[in-house]
Amino acid sequence: MSKSPVRAQAEGAGRVVARGDSAVGEQDSDGSGKKVKSVKKDSAKTAGAKTGESHTALVRRARRINRELAEVYPYAHPELDFENPFQLVVATVLSAQTTDLRVNQTTPALFAKYPTPEDLAAADPAEVEEILRPCGFFRAKTRSVIGLSKALVEDFGGEVPGKLEDLVKLPGVGRKTAFVVLGNAFGRPGITVDTHFQRLVRRWKWTEETEPEKIEAAVGELFPKKDWTDLSHHVIWHGRRICHARKPACGACPIAPLCPSYGEGETDPDKARKLLKYEKGGFPGQRLNPPQSYLDAGGIPAPPLGAG
C-alpha cells in the first residue's frame, strides 16, 4: 500500500472553483496553505467548454491539473504487462471489454506458449481460445491476435511497426491501441482516448467533443506533444482510482479545486476515501509485474490468475 494513499493536500479538498460561467480563481487548495495559482478570467475568447474560460485560461488549468496528477501518480505507467512491442500490441487488443488485470493474468500463459508473431500466427485457434477464455470475447480475440500476428509476419517482417499508419492496418488495431503501442513501446507521444479519458476531460470541461478523434485533437492542442503519453497515463490513472464513472470520490480528490464538476460524486472526505481503488485504497494494482517505481511507492502487484 502507498505510504501516502492520497496526498495530504487532498485531505478535505473540496471546493469547486471553476463552475458555471466563472474561471479558476485564487483558492486555498486545502488548508495546507498551498495555493492553487490564480487563472484569471478572460471573457474575450471563451474556449473552455461551458466554463467561460479563455483558451489561455483553459490551457493553464489543464496543464495545472496534469502537473497535480503527476505529483499524485509519479509512478503512472501502462497497466498492461509487456516485455516487447509484440506483447504490448497483443495485450492491448485483448484489453477490449475487460480489465487490464484480467489481461495481465491471461497473457503469461499465452506468451509462454507463443513468444513470437511467428508462433502465434501458426497457432491452433482452438488452443489459443482456451488460453484467452478468461478475457471474454475469446473467439473474436483469438481471430484478432492470430490475424495481427500473420500480418506482422507477412507485411512487416515479424516486427511491430512504429508508425501510426502501419499499426492501424493490423487486424483489431485502431487509433487507441496504436497510440498505446507508439507511446509505450516506441516512445512516440500519443493521446490515448479510452473510456476514462473521455469521461474525465468532459468533467474537466476541456472539450465538448464526443468523438475520440476530435477529443484527441482538442486535448492535443492544450499540451505540448512531449507530454501526451504521460498525460494519458495521469488521466487514466485518476479515472481508475478516484474519478470513477458512477461514484467519483470528489471528497478525496487532489484536484478538486481545479475541477468544474466537483460535487458530481461523494464529497464527504471519509466516505470518499472508502471509494478509492487500487493503491490509493490500499489494494493491489493491475500489473503482475509493475515497474520498480510503483513498488517503491508502496504499490502492490496483482495476483496471478486464480490466486485472488
* Spacing of C-alpha 45 from chain mean position: 30
**Length of the chain, please?**
308
Q: Around 225, how many Cα atoms within 13 Å sit in the side-chain half-sphere?
A: 4
The catalytic position among 50, 166, 169, 194 is 194
Binding interface with ligand SF4 (CB under 6 A) = 203, 242-243, 248-250, 253, 255-256, 259, 261-262, 264-265
Active site residue 176: yes
Residue placing its CB nearer to ligand SF4 in the complex, 36 or 160: 36
135 annotated as belonging to a binding site for a ligand: no
Residue placing its CB nearer to ligand SF4 in the complex, 141 or 234: 234
Residue placing its CB nearer to ligand SF4 in the complex, 102 or 247: 247
Closest to 132 measured CA to CA, from 152, 156, 106: 106
**Helix, strand, coil percent values for the chain (each to nearest 5):** 50, 0, 50
The catalytic position among 176, 227, 230, 280 is 176
Instruction: Give whole-number Cα distances, 157 to 123, 154, 175, in Å.
Output: 18, 6, 22
Instruction: Give whole-number Cα distances, 303 to 41, 133, 223, 285, 287, in Å.
Output: 48, 18, 36, 9, 8
The minimum distance between CB 167 and ligand SF4, in angstroms, equals 31
The minimum distance between CB 175 and ligand SF4, in angstroms, equals 25
The minimum distance between CB 13 and ligand SF4, in angstroms, equals 8
Active site residue 270: no
How far apart CA 272 and CA 297 sit, in angstroms, is 22
253 annotated as belonging to a binding site for a ligand: yes
Residue placing its CB nearer to ligand SF4 in the complex, 170 or 252: 252
The minimum distance between CB 65 and ligand SF4, in angstroms, equals 8
Residue 137 identity: F
Three-class SS of residue 44?
Answer: coil
16 neighbors 29 (Cβ within 8 angstroms): no
- Catalytic center residues: 176, 194
Annotated binding site: 243, 250, 253, 259
Could you tell me which residues are annotated as the binding site for [4Fe-4S] cluster?
Answer: 243, 250, 253, 259
